[in-house]
Chains A and B, each alone.
Chain A
Amino acid sequence: VPTREIGWNVSEVAFAAMYLLVAVQALVLGYAFARRYLMWRRGRPFGPIDRIGERARQALAVAFLHRRLIRPGYVYAGLMHLFIFWGFVVLFIGTVIVLLEADIARPYFGVSFYQGTFYVVYKIVINFFGLLFLIGLLMAVYRRYIQHLPKFKRNLSDDAIVLGILLFLAITGFLLEALRLSATRDPAAPVHWVAYPLTLLLNGVDPAALAGAHSVTWWSHMLANTALLVYIPVSKLAHMFTGPANVFFRARDPRAALPLIANIEEQEHFGVAKLDDFSWKQLLNFDACMRCGRCLDFCPTFNTGKPLKPRQLIVEIGSYMNRQAGLLAGPAGPRIDEAGVRGNDLVAANEPTLAQVPVIANLIGDIVSEDELWDCTTCRACMEQCPVSIEHVPLIVEMRRNLVLEQSKFPQELVTLFNNLERNSNPYSFPASSRADWAAAAGVQELSQVEDPSSLEIVYWVGCMSSFDARNQRVATALAKIFTAADVKFAILGKEEGCSGDPARRAGNEYLYQILAQTNIDRLNQYQPKRIVASCPHCFNTLKNEYPQLGGNFDVIHHSQFVQELIDAGRLQVPPGTLDGHGMAYHDPCYLGRYNEVYDEPRDVLTRVSGGFVELPRCRDRGFCCGAGGARAFMEEKRGTRISHNRLNEAIDTDANGVAVACPFCVTMFEDGVRALNVEERFAVKDIAEIVAEALAPVPT
Chain B
Amino acid sequence: VGLQPVLAALVTLIGMALTSAGVFMHTAPAVAPGALLTLVGGGWLGVSLAWRNVRLLPGAHIVDPPQSDEAAT
Q: Which residues of A contact B (CB under 8 A)?
A: 12, 15-16, 19-20, 22-35, 38, 102-104, 106-108, 274-276, 320, 323-324, 326-334, 351, 353-363
Contact = CB atoms under 8 A, between A and B. Distances in A.
B63 A360 contact: yes
Given A320-B62, A328-B57, A22 B38 contact: yes
A26 B32 contact: no
Given A31-B46, A275-B64, A332-B61, 18 more contacts: A16-B23, A19-B38, A20-B19, A22-B39, A23-B38, A23-B42, A28-B56, A31-B47, A38-B50, A103-B35, A107-B29, A331-B60, A332-B62, A357-B60, A359-B62, A359-B63, A360-B64, A361-B63
7 contacts: A23-B39, A26-B38, A274-B64, A328-B57, A328-B59, A333-B60, A360-B62
Contact of B47 (A23, A34, A103, A351): A34
A356 B47 contact: no
Contact of A12 (B24, B28, B35, B40): B24
A359 B61 contact: yes
Contacts of B43: 26-27, 29-30
A323 B58 CA distance: 11
- Nearest 6 pairs between A and B by C-beta? A30-B46, A26-B42, A31-B46, A34-B50, A107-B28, A30-B43
A15 B57 CA distance: 28
B10 interface: no
A15 to B, nearest CB: 5
Nearest to A367: B62
A330 B16 CA distance: 31
Counting chain A CB atoms within 10 Å of each CB, the highest count among B38, B43, B59 belongs to: B59
Given A20-B20, A23-B16, A23-B38, A30 B47 contact: yes
B59 A19 contact: no
User: A interface, by DSSP: helix, strand, loop or mixed?
Assistant: helix
A31 B50 contact: yes
Contact of B31 (A19, A30, A323, A353): A19
Nearest to B25: A12
A21 to B, nearest CB: 9
A203 B53 CA distance: 56
B51 A38 contact: yes
B62 A16 contact: no
A18 to B, nearest CB: 9
Contacts of B35: 19, 22, 103
A316 to B, nearest CB: 11
Contacts of B55: 326, 356
Interface residues of B, number: 38
Contact of A358 (B15, B57, B62): B62
A12 to B, nearest CB: 5
Contacts of A102: 28, 31
A329 B58 CA distance: 6
A26 B46 contact: yes
Contacts of A276: 64
A527 B42 CA distance: 67
A16 B27 CA distance: 13
B49 A31 contact: yes
- Interface centre among B24, B28, B58, B60, by most chain A C-beta atoms within 10 angstroms, is B60
Contacts of A361: 62-65
Given A19-B19, A328-B57, A360-B65, A24 B42 contact: yes
B64 A359 contact: no
A27 B46 contact: yes
A275 B64 CA distance: 8
A104 B31 CA distance: 9
A273 B72 CA distance: 19
Contacts of B62: 320, 323-324, 332-334, 358-361
Contact of A35 (B29, B45, B50, B65): B50
Nearest to A330: B59
Given A323-B62, A329-B57, A107 B32 contact: yes
Contacts of B42: 22-27, 30
A104 B34 CA distance: 12
Contacts of A28: 46, 56
A360 B40 CA distance: 37
A354 B61 contact: no
Nearest to B67: A274
B24 A26 contact: no
Most buried by A among B15, B59, B62: B62
Contacts of B16: 19-20, 23
A175 B61 CA distance: 41
Contact of B60 (A24, A27, A106, A358): A358
A328 B61 CA distance: 8
B39 to A, nearest CB: 5
B36 to A, nearest CB: 9
Given A19-B35, A23-B12, A107-B29, A324 B61 contact: yes
Contact of B59 (A20, A29, A32, A331): A331
A64 B49 CA distance: 33
A315 to B, nearest CB: 15
